Amino acid sequence: MEGVAQATPRARRAPQAKHTPRARRTVVVVAFDGVQLLDVTGPVEVFTTANRYGGDYDVRVVSPTGESVTTSSGLVIGAGRPPARFSRRHSTLLVAGRQDWRAAVADTGLVTLVARMAGQAERVASVCAGAFLLAEAGILDGRRAATHWELTAQLAAAYPRVQVEDDPVFARDGHVFTSAGVTAGIDLSLALVEEDWGAETARSVARQLVVFMARPGGQAQFSARLAPRQPQHPAVRRVMDHVTEDPAATHTLTALASAAGLSGRHLERLFRIEVGTTPGRYVESVRVEAAQTLLEAGTGTVEEVAQQAGFGSSESLRRVFQRVLGIAPTQYRARFHSTAAS
């Protein structure tokens, strides 16, 4: 009919892929008396914040008795009773830590609970000294693991079947995740959010909490100054004092051996036995410590710091900082210089 548009058959549309929403994930955080507050609240804040940006977590804080727990800072956290069972699929067990880890692992009820729930979970994670509870439960046997830098030697000594790594902010071995001290639980939780819901959700959470999406460098940048074993041999003590008195002086093996009144070979052997390192590594560690102090407290240029600490050039200082601390000298200064207003 004139003036009436003729109907034409609709073009066939390609079949649309059905969007299947990802399943809700359950995170169970184990808390107990003496637990560090931020070990619990840091991860909880990450997972609950993720719910605002596309995540879907059911976060529960539980205690062995189902009652509130008193943290190491004296604040009380409300906790529920551990579920008899929870779905292995899409579930994460996260074990917080207590600085006095010996008291934690001596609690057989707590260790049994961790072992039982770990067997039900798809992923198992720990924060800080929580790694000791995982180790006591046998979950870390033969696995790589991280904990707070102050506790790595203790973890390795107490649980020789665990492959303890002293620098990572967090470590993954299969379905088991372990993190370094306190705030590293936030880094670990962000990584889990990224695995579950993608990088954009994790980035949104990091922006909201004003934290690094991925913290640059490892734990070495935060650890205390070198604390070598105290030597018994007077010649070794004399050399160590000689180096610390003037880190920028010439400290070749020949010069150090002359100061000790020993041959270079004998001095190296004594250092390995008494200090656990070589004279050259000890000199480097003292110079790194000197540079850290100058960067934290002073205003000199990186080149001036390098000269004063005994590195000779800013490039040498940068290479050693990158290898030992995992960051550049300028980054170190930006992070650890005084927080007072300029």
Residues catalogued as catalytic: 128
AA letter at 262: L
Max CA distance (Å), the chain: 116
Torsion region of 174: left, alpha or beta (phi above 0 gives left; psi -120 to 50 gives alpha): left
Q: How far apart are CA 176 and CA 141, in angstroms?
A: 11
Q: How far apart are CA 138 and CA 11, in angstroms?
A: 62
Q: How far apart are CA 316 and CA 225, in angstroms?
A: 20
Residues whose CB is less than 8 angstroms from the CB of residue 83 and which lie 6 or more positions away in sequence, other chains included: 28, 60, 62
Residues whose CB is less than 8 angstroms from the CB of residue 320 and which lie 6 or more positions away in sequence, other chains included: 284, 287, 288, 311
Q: How far apart are CA 91 and CA 121, in angstroms?
A: 5
Q: How many residues does the chain have?
A: 342
Q: How far apart are CA 278 and CA 270, in angstroms?
A: 9
Query: What is the DSSP secondary structure assignment for residue 85, as one 8-state letter?
Result: -
- The residue assigned the tokens 């008193």 is 70
Q: How far apart are CA 155 and CA 158, in angstroms?
A: 5
**Tokens of residue 121, six digits:** 């979970």
CA 236 to chain centre: 34
Q: How far apart are CA 43 and CA 40, in angstroms?
A: 6
Q: How far apart are CA 287 and CA 225, in angstroms?
A: 11
Q: What are the E-state strand segments in 88-154?
A: 91-95, 123-126, 144-145
Residues whose CB is less than 8 angstroms from the CB of residue 274 and which lie 6 or more positions away in sequence, other chains included: 229, 231, 232, 233, 236
